[in-house]
Amino acid sequence: MNATPAARLNEVVAFAPATVGNVGVGFDILGHTVRAVGDRVRIRRSAQPGVRILAITGCEASLPLEAEKNTAGMALVSMTQALGLEFGMELTIEKGIPLGSGLGGSAASAVAAVVAANALLDEPLSKLELLKFAMQGEAVASGSVHVDNIAPSLFGGLVLTVGIDHPRTKQIPVPPSVRCVLVHPHMFLSTREARRILRKTVDLSDVVWQTANLAGFISGCYTNDLPMIRDAFEDVIIEPQRAQLIPGFKAVKQAAMSNRALGCSISGAGPTIFAWCEDAYAEGIRAAMVEAFAEHNLASDHWISAIDAEGARVVEA
């Protein structure tokens, strides 16, 4: 006897969390989820093939409605073309992540879109396959393909990604007492611009130093070794070049470190600054960082998040 086919879904909503990526020492390859905020994408199946964005809500600046120019739209265009889908998709995007904040907003929209679309397929794809389509979306926003926001937003937790054409991901355990304090000053930074200013060559001694820090950071996470995480938590390549883009960066970092943070750096392309710390110090670090930004005439939003937040998921079907 044939099994009854599952009913086809017509409308799905997916949520994808914000992310910190880079986590300091892992430029373009290491990121983690943030529990507090995220983007939602609603997709309706349509008889007319193609991808159409009906509306984008939750942000003041306008984002492109043309599918090929929008991160969520482009992720779905690449998915639709690769799979030869005969049905079309109409989507609405609800931005929960501030634009140009360094919290992985473009990645979250792309990830929520592919996760929602996946629920409409007769034969859903694996997360690793979805990752490749979401990467095409992220490239529209930043001008380059990178995975340190996409991968954690999709899989959840602290995620390392190796490879671009055939990416492999690894969820890395984090000591349970660790929290991430995030302070987002009210200013906009373009990811494209923050990437454009980076030098294209790096001194060998800095590569050695950064490689040791990344290895130490990850081994500290695996072995619950907070002193190792603290000693390795120093981005010697990217942070020194981008710090000038964020007014008060030095003071905010100093505020976090003098209140017992394990480390502090720029979240993604900025301007959000994040600090890892033990749970007991999180509130004090947050207050000190917010005050340091205020002294530079910048009001801010701020969150304290565990690192192990769940990745993207369907929230309505």
Q: Which residues bind ligand HSE (CB under 6 A)?
A: 21-22, 27-28, 142, 146, 148-149, 191, 194-195, 268-269
Strand 88-94 to 50-57 pairing: parallel
What residues have CB less than 8 Å from 60, skipping those under 6 apart? 99
Residue nearest to ligand HSE (CB): 268
* Residue number with CB closer to ligand HSE (28 or 283): 28
Shortest distance, position 45 Cβ to ligand HSE, whole Å: 31
CB 159 within 8 A of CB 172: yes
* Residue number with CB closer to ligand HSE (206 or 295): 206
Shortest distance, position 221 Cβ to ligand HSE, whole Å: 19
Q: Under DSSP, is residue 257 helix (H, G, I), strand (E, B) or coil?
A: helix
* Residue number with CB closer to ligand HSE (216 or 268): 268
Residue 225, Cβ density class (10 Å: 0-12 exposed, 13-18 middle, ≥19 buried): middle
Nearest to 96 by CA among 38, 154, 149: 38
* Residue number with CB closer to ligand HSE (148 or 234): 148
Helix axes of 71-83 and 105-118: crossing angle, nearest 10 degrees: 30
Nearest to 283 by CA among 268, 299, 296, 302: 302
Shortest distance, position 24 Cβ to ligand HSE, whole Å: 10
* Residue number with CB closer to ligand HSE (21 or 73): 21
DSSP of 9-30, one letter per residue?
A: PSEEEEEEEEEEESBTTSTTTE
Shortest distance, position 95 Cβ to ligand HSE, whole Å: 16
Shortest distance, position 129 Cβ to ligand HSE, whole Å: 22
